[in-house]
């Protein structure tokens, strides 16, 4: 099938795309919603500007739509973006990286039903520890580009998600029961390299900006 991928540049949407490709589907396009609302209920926002470059590294056409990020109203912009993908690339379905968010998954499903295309959620209800292990074993180079919950602070920004990270997040999980893969919005990631990419995203530095337990990473690339 020809599929469009709802793509944020983070670990889950990128891994969902890889699984769809490995299942024999064609990745017809990546679809990104760029929200003005940093606290969007629907959309990942840290480092979202890099999705166009990531799409190029994956050799997949890229579609972007901006939204003001108002709750529920931002779904109209997502629907229009999917309509655009259907018209341009004749896609049969949409791939999401949803793992546990019923809010996100149900609303994408409603739009897909309305537009009469399939909705694929290859990570849905996947054990989060298994997900992290699979990502690492699959060769994903992932960095933290946003933290939004206690006890995280600016020191987390830029950190690589690797086995040591999983070990450390496990200790926090035992104390505070946070979602180990960030499914509660505790943190957001950026994929620097993975099997989908022709070469790594050239990250030179990730600067932490924020205060308290709310921080974002400003990513500086080697070529600019």
pLDDT (0 to 100) of residue 179: 92
Question: What element of type H or E holds 204?
Answer: strand 203-211
If we measure between CA atoms, which residue out of 200, 207, 201, 193 comes closest to residue 221?
201
Specify the CATH architecture of the domain 128-221. Alpha-Beta Complex (3.90)
If we measure between CA atoms, which residue out of 144, 150, 136 comes closest to residue 189?
144
pLDDT (0 to 100) of residue 204: 94
pLDDT (0 to 100) of residue 44: 64
Q: Which residue blocks in 71-219 are alpha helix, DSSP H?
A: 74-89, 102-115, 128-137, 163-176
**pLDDT band for position 72 (50/70/90)?**
confident
The answer to whether 2-120 and 128-221 have equal CATH topology is no
**pLDDT band for position 38 (50/70/90)?**
confident
Domain boundaries along the sequence of the chain = 2-120, 128-221
Topology adopted by domain 2-120: Rossmann fold (3.40.50)
- pTM of the predicted model as reported, rounded to 2 decimal places: 0.95
Q: Take residue 131 and report the two structure tokens written for it.
A: 């997900």
């Amino acid at each position: 099938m020809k599929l469009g991928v709802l793509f944020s540049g983070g670990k889950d949407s990128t891994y969902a795309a890889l699984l769809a490709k490995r299942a024999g589907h064609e990745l017809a396009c990546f679809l990104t919603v760029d929200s003005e609302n940093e606290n969007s209920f629907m959309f990942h926002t840290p480092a979202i500007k890099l999705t166009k470059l990531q799409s190029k590294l994956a050799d997949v056409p890229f579609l972007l739509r901006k939204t003001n990020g108002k709750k529920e109203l931002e779904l109209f912009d997502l629907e229009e973006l999917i309509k655009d993908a259907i018209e341009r690339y004749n896609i049969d379905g949409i791939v999401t990286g949803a793992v546990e968010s019923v809010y996100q998954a149900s609303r994408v499903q409603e739009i897909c039903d309305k537009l009469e295309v399939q909705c694929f959620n290859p990570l849905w209800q996947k054990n989060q520890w298994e997900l992290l292990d699979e990502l690492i074993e699959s060769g994903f180079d992932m960095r933290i580009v946003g933290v939004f919950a206690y006890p995280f602070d600016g020191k987390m920004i830029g950190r690589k998600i690797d086995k040591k990270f999983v070990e450390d997040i496990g200790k926090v999980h035992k104390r505070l029961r946070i979602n180990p893969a960030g499914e509660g919005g505790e943190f957001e990631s950026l994929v620097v390299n993975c099997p989908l990419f022709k070469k790594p995203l050239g990250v030179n530095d990730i600067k932490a900006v924020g205060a308290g337990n709310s921080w974002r990473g400003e990513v500086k690339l080697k070529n600019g």
